[in-house]
Structure 1
Amino acid sequence: MAPRFSSFEDAVKVKPLAILVGQAPVRLWGIDGRERLRRVLGKLGVELHDEHATAPTGRDLLYLRADYLFDERVVAALLETPGVALRATADGPLVALHAPAAQAAPASAVLAGQTPADGYRIETPESLASAYQERLRKRSTPYVLPVTEAERPALEQRLFGTAYKGVTDFITKWWWPRPARQVTGVCARRGITPNQVTLTGLVLTVAAGFAFWGGWWLPGLVCAWLMTFLDTVDGKLARVTVKSSRFGDILDHGIDLIHPPFWYAAWALGAPEGSLPAQALIWVIVIGYVGGRLAEGAFQVLCAKFSLFVWRPFDSFNRLVTARRNPNLLMLTVCALLGAPALGLWLVAGWTVLSTVLLWARVGMALAERRRGALVSWLQQVGREIPADSLAVRWFAR
């Protein structure tokens, strides 16, 4: 008998109960499949139900195989699509099912392959969930993969790769991934939490600021670079272990947003007396930095909900080098090593002004185009207006 599905609106009024099926002894980034799914479902506000207990009436049930690794986008999409039976691949086994509570027994048999999936809409991860990830500014194919010990290294790499932003500065994108993966693994195995990593970064942020203020360039730069590295690690650790929290997110982004101007001001105050107009440069950098951030915000308020840096490929290339902390810190480092710390601050001031002017110019262009219709991120146009083999796709969308 085919399941009787309610309307979509009725189905999503109350979130389904989740039932995990099977065992998953292989641990990825320190946690097994059941615990990973429990954390993912907890983030989505979904309650777990014992697979051996009687299913309550009036609630949809979401069955998930615990011996498979689910892309979080796929789980979120399943919650919103009652009546779907999910295959890992087009000709692969059923790995998930969103069914009404009244059909709990037959649904369980369907997932086990004992009963045909009549009446269910068959989907795959690619057909169910979007490849575009707005928060991480990237495209990646949604997946559901079997978890085995032999595949553990590849699956851990997949989780780490999907946790990484596609559009970011060139240091975060190309310098940090390899060491960050190793440190993330150490943290995961030893039970170090993302918030502990972030708080360590906060201590280093303060230490770098005081060192710059005192003119101790090299110790300050060591602290600063360690902080920027840990700023990569904490987010990746949170995503691969599914331990992100509201507090951690606010703390991490708050530190990222606030500390750069204080570093530049401390650098100016620590420079040899008379080597540069400290007060004037501080104001130029602070105004330029705030202006750049306001330009990004203005784009999202006035033009589109997505980031300015994923509007056109040009903007993604610009993000690699725009006057954010890491490119600016590299200029300060090179100049300090050359014995010209004052020159470093002049370069940061000039690059900040140029970057901010460019960002506002892009906002103006976006406003003009917005009058002709809604803006669309280039990441959503790959394979259509944007060639799939273009440099932008190779760098940012894979």
Structure 2
Amino acid sequence: MTTEDKTPITLDFVPARSPVKLFGLSGRERIMKMIKDRRADGVVIGADDPQAASSGDWLIMDEDCLYDGPVIDWLLAGPDRAVDADGARAGRVSSKGEQQDAVRAWIKGAGSLPEGIDLASPDSIGAAYRTALRKRETPYCLRISAIGREKAEQRLFAGSYKGVTDFVTKYVWPWPAFHLTRLCAALKISPNMVTSLSLVLVLAAFWFFWQGDFASGLLAAWGMTFLDTVDGKLARTTLTSSKWGNIFDHGIDLVHPPFWYWSWAHGLSSGLEAGVGPGSSASWLGLSSLDWALWVILVGYVAGRLMEGYFIARFKLELHIWRRFDSFFRLIVSRRNPNLILLSLGLLLGDPAAGFLWVALWTIASLAVHGVQIVQAERAARNHPLSSWLDGALRQDS
């Protein structure tokens, strides 16, 4: 994110008494990265640099504080402003000298804020709708020494999580993903390294499914979905997101599911032809029904993506964040993780073919729901532009 204010800014720090690294970054490093992401023109200079601005503004940040992105955005949006949340503070002043010294002392907890400084709390800055994460969230400003490293990292991790996603990602993976993300950060493992490992598991799952070894394939597949959660969180908590990483990760996510379904169908067909018996459903329905189920799943996968793309192009809004129901349906819609649950249940019941047929039926049902959603959106758009229920809730809370 960038800011339109191009006023020269010198960045100054109040040192932390006991510096703590969060996901491998010190307070100073994290603040610098966040501000550089927003002021890519290189205006921000360390206060100890001989080129420190003799004119322009001074932005004074506390190394012992954890600042949310919208808080920094607000400080960068204009001069003579400060933020305070139970002693977690920062300020921007437009003049050097006594005012700058007074703000530094105030951040340390000594003295009062000079007159003429606009003071705000994260709550008064307002809840922010995070488009990339599909959620609304009140900004935060926290003193790390007051809450401890564990809680500070938990807050950072929670802030990196998508609000609208599938059931497994939202409710099953957060706890183990948090601990693996911490470990990866400590070991200097990059998000792209995690994504590369997930690609290996994509290929392994495909191979096992193709061979009819559905149990091993599902272990690889679920491992991949877990790493698919970790790589994005690692990128956001360590501030190492990149355009290539985004393409790499989302490209894998978009392409691999149809190949898994194809290989599962092949594994079923091979077992049936060999007389191994991949389940009573396959024996009863035969190869032709498995072929039809595969085509339903593949065509349905593409159609579902196209319908979601149409919704964005037509209404400038993601389908799954329009209404509360749409966000709820995203938890269970026929996507990779919910479909893996159906396949796993089929295998646990000793009938992997049944799981495959359930995926085909759920794909049809999901497409029908999407069709109704689009028709309803077309009707609603005749009266007013569509907006997300999350945005509406944000306005009600502010």
| Equivalent AA in structure 2 for residue 56 of structure 1 | A
Provide the aligned length of Structure 1 versus Structure 2: 371
The answer for the alignment partner of 1:33 in structure 2 is: 27
Instruction: Provide the rounded CA distance (Å) in 2 between the counterparts of 1:259 and 1:14.
Output: 46
- Structure 1: gaps (5+ residues): 1-9, 389-398
Deviation at 1:29, TM superposition (A): 2.0
Q: Does 1:199 align with 2:196?
A: yes
Moved over 6 A (4+): none
Matches within 5 A, 1:78-93: 78-89=75-86, 92=87
Of 279, 293, 302, which aligns to 1:290? 302
Deviation at 1:115, TM superposition (A): 7.1
| Equivalent AA in structure 1 for residue 138 of structure 2 | T
Instruction: Provide the rounded CA distance (Å) in 2 between the counterparts of 1:238 and 1:267.
Output: 32
The answer for the alignment partner of 1:49 in structure 2 is: 45
CA contact (8 A) 1:85 1:117 kept: no
Deviation at 1:134, TM superposition (A): 2.1
CA contact (8 A) 1:109 1:115 kept: no
Deviation at 1:384, TM superposition (A): 7.2
Matches within 5 A, 1:62-81: 62-81=59-78
Describe the shift of the 1:175–1:116 C-alpha distance in structure 2 as closer, same or farther (beyond 3 A): closer
Matches within 5 A, 1:345-384: 345-382=356-393
Instruction: Provide the rounded CA distance (Å) in 1 between the counterparts of 2:78 and 2:385.
Output: 27
Deviation at 1:279, TM superposition (A): 3.9
Q: Deviations over 1:328-378 (max 9, x none)?
A: 011111112222222222111111121122113212211211221122211
**Aligned to 1:104, what secondary structure does the other structure show?**
coil
Deviation at 1:98, TM superposition (A): 3.0
Of 89, 92, 96, which aligns to 1:98? 92
Deviation at 1:383, TM superposition (A): 7.6
CA contact (8 A) 1:260 1:325 kept: yes
Instruction: Provide the rounded CA distance (Å) in 2 between the counterparts of 1:247 and 1:258.
Output: 16
Instruction: Provide the rounded CA distance (Å) in 1 between the counterparts of 2:359 and 2:80.
Output: 56
| Equivalent AA in structure 2 for residue 87 of structure 1 | D
Instruction: Provide the rounded CA distance (Å) in 1 between the counterparts of 2:165 and 2:83.
Output: 33
Q: Does 1:311 align with 2:308?
A: no
Query: RMSD of the alignment, in Å?
Result: 2.4
Instruction: Provide the rounded CA distance (Å) in 2 between the counterparts of 1:349 and 1:261.
Output: 12
CA contact (8 A) 2:173 2:229 kept: yes
- Structure 2: gaps (5+ residues): 274-285
**Aligned to 2:91, what secondary structure does the other structure show?**
strand
CA contact (8 A) 2:343 2:356 kept: yes
Q: Does 1:259 align with 2:256?
A: yes
Instruction: Provide the rounded CA distance (Å) in 2 between the counterparts of 1:184 and 1:276.
Output: 45
Of 206, 211, 215, which aligns to 2:212? 215
Instruction: Provide the rounded CA distance (Å) in 1 between the counterparts of 2:321 and 2:183.
Output: 33
CA contact (8 A) 1:74 1:129 kept: no
The answer for the alignment partner of 2:276 in structure 1 is: none
Deviation at 1:62, TM superposition (A): 2.7
CA contact (8 A) 2:198 2:227 kept: yes
Describe the shift of the 1:282–1:60 C-alpha distance in structure 2 as closer, same or farther (beyond 3 A): farther
State TM-score, norm by structure 2.
0.86
**Aligned to 2:353, what secondary structure does the other structure show?**
helix
Instruction: Provide the rounded CA distance (Å) in 2 between the counterparts of 1:20 and 1:380.
Output: 35
CA contact (8 A) 1:11 1:60 kept: no
Q: Percent identity?
A: 42
The answer for the alignment partner of 1:233 in structure 2 is: 230
CA contact (8 A) 1:269 1:278 kept: no
| Equivalent AA in structure 2 for residue 345 of structure 1 | F
| Equivalent AA in structure 2 for residue 313 of structure 1 | R
The answer for the alignment partner of 1:326 in structure 2 is: 337
CA contact (8 A) 1:15 1:79 kept: no
The answer for the alignment partner of 2:14 in structure 1 is: 21
Deviation at 1:268, TM superposition (A): 1.0
Describe the shift of the 1:283–1:38 C-alpha distance in structure 2 as closer, same or farther (beyond 3 A): same
Larger mean Cα displacement after TM superposition, 54-63 or 201-210: 54-63
**Aligned to 2:161, what secondary structure does the other structure show?**
coil
The answer for the alignment partner of 2:277 in structure 1 is: none
Deviation at 1:25, TM superposition (A): 0.9
Deviation at 1:44, TM superposition (A): 2.2
